Amino acid sequence: MMRSLYSAVSGLRVHQTKMDVIGNNIANVNTTGYKSSTVSFCDVFNQTLQGGTGASDSGLGGSNPMQIGLGVSVSSIDVQMTPGASQRTDNSLDLQISNDGFFIVTDGAGQKFTRAGSFRLDSAGSLVNASGYKVCGWPVNTDTGEIIKGTVRPLSIMGPTTYSVAPNKTTSLEFSGNINLADGDPTGNGIPMTMNFYDSIGNKYTAQMTTTFDTTSGTWQIPNFDYIKDSKGNDVEFGGVAVAGSVLATPIELEFDSDGNIMGTSSFNIDFSSVTPFDGINSEVGQAGVLTLDFENMTQYSSTTSVMSDNDGNEPGNFSSFSVGGDGIITAKYSNGDTKVLGQVVLAKFKNPTGLLKAGDNLFETSPNSGPFDGIGVDPSTTGGLESGVLEMSNVDLSREFTEMITTQRGFQANSKIITTSDEMLQELTNLKR
């Protein structure tokens, strides 16, 4: 009888443990990246009253062993690593892992792991989670712009090397469009071609050339620049002389075939090296160097004349925003249209993720049964990628938790009934002395 009392007490204990787990799951139903837990029971030591026997030659059959169990215990509390639902936030710093893996964070003393991708920037420009742990990933080679795939490090988004980008001096200009023979009469105004270019310190200049058709040679000719002006509208000078008259000593000649396609030489170099740096009445002083003018995409059809130009230079740029791609690469955007790779968020993978230890703050730590972290991580694109502007919610299933709560409550009640019934039986036994 005392045996039944202690068995029932063990039943109360394990059902209370299970209710604690259920309560914690429900409490975290809206916790970002939370992983629910489940409880499994097992019976404990059984007292053998009689061992089993086998069949004998005398004709008697065998008998089964007789055992009385001594209660129940918790065999495991397992973390369920199934993905949670997605919540759209439209915040570029909120990241969701599409498949397996964990974000890697550090407090400087060690690395921890999380599925909660709610990140932000701190005052030092580092990418951190809500608890201030720095997000780790692969840094970038600032000289080549390539990701350094090695040991993970804390990622820095804002810093002296990211606030701005240097200008790009124009080295080539590409003209495209169409010039109509009827518009190239040398006795008229000809066809103007306008272009922009940048010098070595990012100053922008506007230049214009006029092309006319030479009936003797059958070519379009550009003898010189009409003007070259700075961003203030002043004529660009060198030594007090307008630069426009100091270049194109050899005229540019463009020739087209009978189908209106360019033939012969289509690329020409304009050398500003003898008149740089620009100076004069304007304050914009910089090296322009050699410009390559490319006319390969020009045509001579009977359609409307239309000429456009594009150049490979730009002005200096200031940091405007950044984004995180599905591969975890963080890219900064600048006011001049330039982009720069700042690093890559990488993931940690484990042989047995359910073996990780919960460490609070939505964090996990390694355990002997999870396997170690190799310190390098994996590219997110190899595991399904990341989603920006989305967070992974808790994977708690309320319908399942409420069902488990009912069965746990009934189990607790049944075990408590064993105790009260055993108590009544003991009471009857003590009354026998009367």
Whether residue 360 is contained in a domain is answered as: yes
Query: What backbone phi and psi angles, to 5 degrees, belong to 93?
Result: -90, -5
Q: Residue 330: which of 186, 144, 136 has the closest Cα?
A: 136
pTM > 0.95: yes or no: no
Q: Which domain holds residue 422?
A: 2-45+69-81+395-433
Contact 21, 79 (CB under 8 A): no
Residues 183 and 307 in one domain: yes
Around Cβ 422, how many Cβ atoms within 10 Å? Answer: 18
Contact 215, 209 (CB under 8 A): no
Cα dihedral across residues 234, 240, 243, 245: positive or negative: positive
pLDDT-based confidence at residue 280 (cuts at 50, 70, 90): very low
Span 21-56, pLDDT tens digits = 999 999 999 999 999 999 999 888 777 778 777 877
Whether residue 286 is contained in a domain is answered as: yes
pLDDT value for 251: 81
Residues 36 and 108 in one domain: no
- Helix and strand counts by DSSP (H, E) for the chain: 2, 33
Provide the mean pLDDT of the chain.
88
Whether residue 292 is contained in a domain is answered as: yes
Residues 238 and 296 in one domain: yes
Radius of gyration of the chain (CA): 39
Residues 201 and 124 in one domain: no
Whether residue 51 is contained in a domain is answered as: no
Residue bearing the bigger pLDDT, 328 or 3: 328
249: left (phi over 0), alpha (psi -120 to 50) or beta: alpha
Last residue of a domain, one of 311, 343, 361: 311
Whether residue 167 is contained in a domain is answered as: no
Contact residues for 294 (Cβ-Cβ < 8 A; gap 6+)? 172, 173, 174, 175, 266, 267
Whether residue 104 is contained in a domain is answered as: yes
pLDDT value for 287: 66
* CATH number for the domain that contains residue 288: 2.60.98.20
Q: What is the mean pLDDT of residues 356-374?
A: 94
Residues 399 and 388 in one domain: no
Residues 97 and 142 in one domain: yes
User: How many domains are contained in the chain?
Assistant: 3
Residues 237 and 346 in one domain: no
Residues 206 and 286 in one domain: yes
pLDDT value for 118: 94
Whether residue 244 is contained in a domain is answered as: yes
pLDDT value for 69: 73
Residues 136 and 179 in one domain: no
Residues 108 and 95 in one domain: yes
Give the burial string for 167-194 (b: 16+ CB within 10 Å, else e): bbbbebbbbebbbbeebbeeeeebbebe
Span 202-251, pLDDT tens digits = 888 899 999 999 888 899 999 888 898 888 888 887 777 787 876 666 78
pLDDT value for 282: 47
Span 295-352, pLDDT tens digits = 999 999 999 999 999 999 899 999 998 899 999 999 999 998 889 999 999 999 999 9
Whether residue 318 is contained in a domain is answered as: no
3-17, 70-84, 132-146, 280-294, range with the lowest pLDDT: 280-294
Residues 201 and 214 in one domain: yes
Structure tokens at 419: 């105790």
pLDDT value for 279: 56
Q: Over 80: is that where the pLDDT of 140 sits?
A: yes
